[in-house]
Structure 1
Amino acid sequence: MSEFEHGYSFDPAYGRTLDELLDIPVPAPPAGFDAYWRDRFAAAAGVATAPAVGPQEDERDGCRIFGVSYTSVGGLRIGGWLVRPAEGPAEHGFVIGHGYGGRQEPGADVPLPLPRSAAILPCVRGMGSRSRRPGIPGQAEAHVLHGIESRETYVIGDCVADLWCAASALLELVPELREGSEGPGGGARLGYVGESFGGGLGALGLPWDDRFACGQLTVPTFGNHPLRVTLPSVGSGEAVRAYYEQHPEVMDVLAYFDAATAASRIRVPMMVAPALFDPAVPPPGQFAVYNALPEPRELHLLRAGHFEYAGESGDVAALAKARRGFFTARLG
């Protein structure tokens, strides 16, 4: 029985105990999985991102916030925000993904996970207030199906590329992040943060980009698609499940966009915060992402995701503290 009262027609805890969730398997990769993603990363790494910074829009929490845009794959300009320390050089850098509600403003992503940091907060293509584009749906339920007919056209692959190109833009705009660090482009000093949609995109993108030293994913989506399409939910996950019922062949495409399969390839320290109760992103899929990760990895349990409940603010604060400790240990 769930600890929460709710009005859903299904159980957002899906009848799983913690031990059962920690035993959720990782789907086997389809043929050419690694080569597919390496090729996509190579294409994104070759993009001249030409970042452009707008006027300062805000200053708070020791940060100055600016509008920013940059070029991603396909020549698309992506909008978002650049965050820099109010004083002194940046000592760490972050790419921060957003949920499937899009990003309308920096919001709770500032303050950053660590002080004296710089970050880029992109709105991936079609989403949020700064990357709406003709021909790409802006609503989650339609966006998640855009181009789903083939792995070459599925929008999720391009959204991952938008994050890779965000990292390139950040390193161009904040060159001190590259100085004295290991790996191409200053990779040893970048961290990734992503929640829900951004968590799934992060799991898909991190294995192939050695500019990132570590990452933190909260309630990540896209984990274990073969299981996810059997579980009712709300929002984008339900849209995919309904599409699968009419087009079961889509599993051949979804196999290339499985966040758990990709997570098994990540080779940097990770912290995952999955929820035990979540009507939008079924917990079995979230735990599949965590279970797939090799060590070193950290687990931070949440009571619920995508659901308002008493005590939620305290749990959010506890996660922020744990995230800060995780990145302090790895980025200094």
Structure 2
Amino acid sequence: MSTTAPGLHHDLPFDPAYGHTLDTLLAIAPPPDEPSDFDDFWTACYRRALAVDIAPALGPASRVGGHLVQSIHYTSTDGVRLGGWLTSPADGPIVRGTVYLHGYGGRAAPEPELLPPGTAAIWPCARGLGTASRLPGVPDNGAGHVLHGIDSAETYIHGGCVADVWCAATTLLRAHPAVAQQLAFVGDSFGGGIGAMAVAFDDRFHAVALGVPSFGHHPLRLTLPCTGSGDAVRRHHHQHPEVIRVLRYFDAATAATRVRQRAHVAAARFDPHVPPPGQFAVYNALAGPKTLHVLTAGHFDHPDAVMERSALNAARRDFLQE
């Protein structure tokens, strides 16, 4: 067993801080070799998503505490039918909207209490994940999902997941048009990385909150052992080095250089699942006004974890209602 910081004991065969200090993490730049057609690729993806007939179908509303909760299904690109939840205040006006995407653990229920009062939100399950969007032939675990279609930028599932966010935003805006004046995205881990790519090319969003975002700086991530989906990609790259050509299109740090909306990022200094250098690469690359919320650890239980999560939730609520 090794000790890396007070209260952070682990028996992993690598250092989940990767030898970094906060200063060195804040010095990590985005990948230097983005594809020359990066913007063209994502702009075309965005146009296809906006052209989709989302055909939303809402279930009956039930009151849960101070919120109305409904199941929702909508269509995304490739004709994929997705599920999730729509929540809104049971009483009082709706003054803002949020698209909230889950991590690789999926989502079994919405959590509207995480958001400020007056928020209408959609809680989509990205294609292949969660309890509502599983698909035949698509693994519903991180290690399998992250490799699905990875041999081509046109087929890689992360492109579809980004489109799922765009179509979720369209669905929320159709249900509650007034939130167009104050629409935000929130996502953690998998959801944070996918969200950075989505918000970079969708100016319908006015704010973005990312927690321990994944998929930042693939060239660096491919050199770092971890316990998350990045390890599956690293092993695949070892056998198929040419896959870097695809991954360059799906780099959250490269996308972050296009994010000019105000942003709040929670990044961890110690994380065995999503290496901190990738998380900070996303934060560092953001092009607009940004706030950094430093976590002791991500994807790792420690004595202050509950307190830190509570503080992060409070900081996010404040950020979202600015």
1:64 matches 2:68? yes
SS in structure 2 of the partner of residue 2 of structure 1 = strand
CA distance in 1, matches of 2:11, 2:176: 47
Match of 1:310 in 2: 303
Match of 1:140 in 2: 142
SS in structure 2 of the partner of residue 55 of structure 1 = coil
User: Following superposition of structure 1 onto structure 2, how do residues 17-166 of structure 1 map, counting pairs within 5 Å?
Assistant: 17-28=21-32, 29-60=34-65, 62-106=66-110, 109-166=111-168
TM-score normalised by length of structure 2 = 0.96
CA distance in 2, matches of 1:207, 1:31: 16
Match of 1:180 in 2: none
Structure 1 portions without partners, runs of 5+: 178-185
CA distance in 2, matches of 1:266, 1:142: 29
1:169 matches 2:162? no
* Contact kept in structure 2, 1:277 and 1:303, CA below 8 Å: yes
Aligned length: 317
Letter in 2 for 1:51: P
Deviations 1:209-258 (A, max 9, x none): 11100100000000000000000001211000100111110000000000
Match of 1:230 in 2: 223
* Contact kept in structure 2, 1:89 and 1:176, CA below 8 Å: no
CA distance in 2, matches of 1:110, 1:85: 9
Q: CA deviation at 1:58?
A: 4.8
* Contact kept in structure 2, 1:220 and 1:274, CA below 8 Å: yes
CA distance in 2, matches of 1:90, 1:250: 45
CA distance in 1, matches of 2:156, 2:260: 26
* Contact kept in structure 2, 1:198 and 1:220, CA below 8 Å: yes
TM-score normalised by length of structure 1 = 0.94
Structure 2 portions without partners, runs of 5+: none
SS in structure 1 of the partner of residue 300 of structure 2 = coil
Match of 1:267 in 2: 260
* Contact kept in structure 1, 2:217 and 2:253, CA below 8 Å: yes
Deviations 1:163-187 (A, max 9, x none): 100000001111232xxxxxxxx2x
Letter in 2 for 1:150: S
Letter in 2 for 1:219: V
SS in structure 1 of the partner of residue 174 of structure 2 = helix
Match of 1:300 in 2: 293
Match of 2:316 in 1: 323
